[in-house]
Structure 1
């Protein structure tokens, strides 16, 4: 890609992130192009669909979360690694309102621009879950698909203004349902806090 084209693409992504965080994934492509001070045709040349724009925006974050799973695998107990990673995922998904709906659809659609990234992210979580299960720290009757769905559910809670005050408590309830420890209390702060 030419240097000026890459600069334009980077500018569009830099503008799109805050707009999508503010208005959600259904924001108009026209609104994004206006905020970026470019024509709609320029935006569509770089990102022909909203999904392509989101893939461009989210790709680095998916990579970061996948890398975080690998770090946690080697640096923490199986239980702590799983809970920390799920907490990170929930915190990240609440940054972009509505992204969990798109991710859930993309994981089932191999033609989706987000499919490969979502599958990789789900696999990272499944590895952490399997490690926790092997250590006897997590229930054996759930799988990576269930974990991905639980993350989506917890992220949805974070998208609901009336439920945000309960988000940490609900996270702890879900964690205690997944974990096999008797006390299950993982009260370590709001989603995203470390």
Structure 2
């Protein structure tokens, strides 16, 4: 009995990964049939795991949110806070890109209350705060910046970075944002500031 359940879990994980990639790269929402084909399974297998488009979108959306919330702590376990923050920003960009390929369904689900947008917002702000707090304690990140400041900046960056240029343009803008998040260096004693 264990083998079929393990196979089913693997199939579900595979479908979730393929759907995430499909949503991330699509200009418009891909069909369920296209996702099944990309995953190498029949449409019946896809519908067995995700009976509706909404159930698939919900699963991908929640999986991405979990990656962002757990990702904050996992990155801090491996990296200094400023570097963890920069890597987390890339994860956020992946989440935004994934949302683009399922936007119509997602917006409809938020409107009907199937997805609690406010709860997601709170979870993401908590993830940012976790990294900010570690950065403040280490002296890596400014103490006057809020999680809301960073979230608003990230949304702005990924809104203005076109899909084709996202990696290069968004990467440059994220690096500039990170420069602004670091505490200003104090001048050396006796050093003079420029006159301008």
**Higher CA-based Rg:** 2
TM-aligned CA distance change 1:33 to 1:110, over 3 Å: same
Aligned residue among 21, 38, 42 for 2:24 = 21
Q: If each structure's helix is expressed as a fraction of its own residues, which one has the higher value?
A: 2
Report whether the alignment pairs 1:37 with 2:39.
no
- Is contact 1:72-1:81 (8 Å) kept? yes
- TM-score, structure 2 normalization: 0.61
TM-aligned CA distance change 1:54 to 1:150, over 3 Å: farther
Root mean square deviation of aligned Cα? 4.2
- How far apart, in 2, do the equivalents of 1:176 and 1:94 lie? 22
TM-aligned CA distance change 1:15 to 1:68, over 3 Å: closer
- Is contact 1:25-1:96 (8 Å) kept? no
- How far apart, in 2, do the equivalents of 1:7 and 1:138 lie? 43
Q: Which moved more, 1:152-161 or 1:106-115?
A: 106-115
- How far apart, in 2, do the equivalents of 1:83 and 1:11 lie? 28
1:129 alignment partner in structure 2? 132
**What count of residue pairs does the alignment treat as equivalent?**
178
What stretches of structure 1 of length at least 5 have no aligned partner? 184-194
- How far apart, in 2, do the equivalents of 1:80 and 1:34 lie? 38
2:150 alignment partner in structure 1? 147
- TM-score, structure 1 normalization: 0.61
TM-aligned CA distance change 1:15 to 1:122, over 3 Å: same
The correspondence of residues 37-116 of structure 1 with structure 2, limited to 5 A, is 37-39=42-44, 43=46, 46-47=49-50, 50-90=53-93, 92-93=94-95, 96=98, 98=100, 111-112=114-115, 116=119
Once the two structures are superposed, what CA deviation does each residue of 1:147-167 show, in whole Å capped at 9, x if it has no partner? 223333333455532464333
1:172 alignment partner in structure 2? 175
2:194 alignment partner in structure 1? none
- Is contact 2:30-2:101 (8 Å) kept? no
- How far apart, in 2, do the equivalents of 1:100 and 1:178 lie? 32
Tell me how far 1:174 sits from its aligned partner.
1.6
Once the two structures are superposed, what CA deviation does each residue of 1:81-118 show, in whole Å capped at 9, x if it has no partner? 3233224433x33652626978x978999640676555
